[in-house]
Every structure is written in structure tokens, then in C-alpha cells.
Amino acid sequence: MRGLVVLSVLAVWALPCASVPTRDTSGRHWTCDENEKEPGASLAMLSINNKHFHGYKFQLSNITSSTAEKGESDCKLHLELDLQETICHVVNPKSFKECDIRPHHETQVNAHCNVTLSITEGIAEVSKHSCDIEPVSAEEMVRMCPDCPTLLPLHSPEGLESVKAGLRQFNMDHNYTSYFKLMEVGRITSGYMMMTGMNYYAEFAIVETKCNAKSRIDTQACKPMCPDKARHGLCKSTLLGNGNVDVDCEIYEALNASSPRTPGRECGPPPHKPGHPNHPGMKHPLPPLLHRLPTGNPSPLPGFPGRPVLGEGPPPHDKA
């Protein structure tokens, strides 16, 4: 698996807590009232998706509880939210509100989040959130759809071979001038068919590099373009048991495509998008760290085989 990279598998799986508060900039006057739960949940979803830099975007499914805690000078609104994973990867510029929920036959992923909003002088901000994420269990999937593909660990050797084959095929076929590199593996599933044997289906995110696609290159040495200059994409590949490969990639244009792409220039922060909170002193993270495939066989995570920690990395910015 030389040259293939995936996010390292760690010991827990949760969305990271908010490190910088997300403030409401709509001009709305907030009150210390449990009836603020719906606008509060909307602000929470914007915060969660803006600070979620790996995997897929989420949509609100249900508000399970809301409590208001009045203080001397401010108010805390505590929300419990149920979320559902969408089919939009975080590199997709589409708003999470426009994304479709992942269908049942693809193994849905759900999240339960605890969110705290601070309300001071009529202005609200999400001060913290934490989310526990879990897919539909294998037992439930077998009961609902016994013939559906099975979700595999992201470190599955056969699954990663399918990713490698899909990426290689895409770089051979596309008409872009640049070579594209693996950014992260999103999902791997497998299913058996009588005519072709065991088939592997993968979704993986890619990023444009500074290397020319058609030249003789050491792909390991190819560095991604700056986040605001690079095209990103989400690929869906199929590796059949007979060795045939099919791949389809949806490519998203660079955030700042109008600026010249100067090889070797220093990366600056991505352009600020309308609707995103712009906090003083907030730094845009660097590109996501791509870790080499771990040696050995890491133990699958409880409830989800081989899903990586959703840690911090660069925000492929979402629209509000």
C-alpha cells in the first residue's frame, strides 16, 4: 500500500468541541427562553458543520430537549439534538441544508449532540458542542436489507486497494492539467455478486496537487495546492471481483479560482464567505494532515469499524 494515505484510526469517534464560538450575525434579538430552541438549533447546525472538517456534513433530525438557564448577566440555552449524516462530503461547497440524507441501504450514520448557546444582551453564540456518532448497527442492516453492501473498516486492505485503483483510474482519464491526490477515505463497502464475485465500493475525497498530471512524477512527492487554490472532489469507485474498475468523481472548483496559481507561493487564508462568522484572531487551519496507512491491523472502533476521529483540519467552507 505504498503511496496510499488515509486518516489514522484513533480510539474514539466524536465530533470535536467548538474551539471558537459561532456568533449569530442575523441581527435577531434573542431572549432567555426555551422557545428559542428552533433558531438555536439552526445556529448550532451551522456551528457544527463549520467546525467539522472530515467525513460528511450533517442535518438536524430532531430537537430532543431544551432548557434555559438564566444568570445575572447572561443566559445559557442547552440543547440536545439528533442529527443525520448527509451524502455531501465536507469538500462539497453545497450548504448542508441542501444535502440529501444518506439512504437506509447505504448504512445511515446518526449523531447525538449536546450544545450550549450563550445569550448576552440579545446576541447569541454557540459556546460549545459535543457529539457522539454511531452508524446503524450491522444487525439492523441485515434485518432491513440483507442483500445491501456491508460497511467495512477504513483500514480494510481490500477496500484500500479499491481506493488506490479508483484514484489511479481517475488520474489516467481526467482532462485536468494537475495530478490529484487522496485527501481522505470516506466510506468502503463490499458486496458479493454471482457474476463478478466480491465487489468493493468506495467513496474518497481528493485534492489537486502542484504536479503535472501527464509528466513522469513521484506521486508521493506531490504536494497539494493551497486550500483556496486547489480543486477538491469526491470520488465513488467500484472494483469488481474480475478486476474491472469504474470511478466517477465530482470535482469542485477552487474557492479563489480567479487568483493566479503560482507554483510554490505561500498559502494564505481562504477567502471569507458571506454568512460565515468572521472572528477576530481566528486562524484558518492548514490543509488536513494525511497520515500513512498504519502498519498492522488497528482494532475496529466500537459501533463503527475503523472510522477515524473527526479531528481538526482545514475547513472546506460551507455556505450558510
pLDDT band at 73 (very low <50, low <70, confident <90, very high): confident
pLDDT band at 267 (very low <50, low <70, confident <90, very high): low
Percent of the chain with pLDDT over 90: 57
Q: Is 8 exposed, middle or buried (0-12, 13-18, 19+ CB in 10 A)?
A: middle
- Return the biggest CA–CA distance within the chain: 70
Listed range (113-117, 195-199, 249-253, 267-271) with the worst mean pLDDT: 267-271
Question: Average pLDDT, stretch 290-295?
Answer: 33
Residues forming a β-bridge with 83: 60, 111
Q: What digits encode the pLDDT tens for the residues 203-259? A: 999 999 999 988 887 888 899 999 889 999 999 999 999 899 999 999 999 986 555
- Give ∠ CA 97-305-130 in degrees, rounded to 5: 45
Residues forming a β-bridge with 115: 79, 129
Q: Which residues of 281-315 are buried (b: 16+ CB within 10 A; e: fewer)?
A: eeeeeebbebeebeeeeeebbeebbbbbbbebbbb
Q: Is the pLDDT of residue 87 over 70?
A: yes
Domains and CATH numbers, the chain: 14-142 (3.10.450.10)
Percent of the chain with pLDDT over 70: 73
Global confidence as pTM: 0.76
pLDDT at residue 98, rounded to an integer? 97
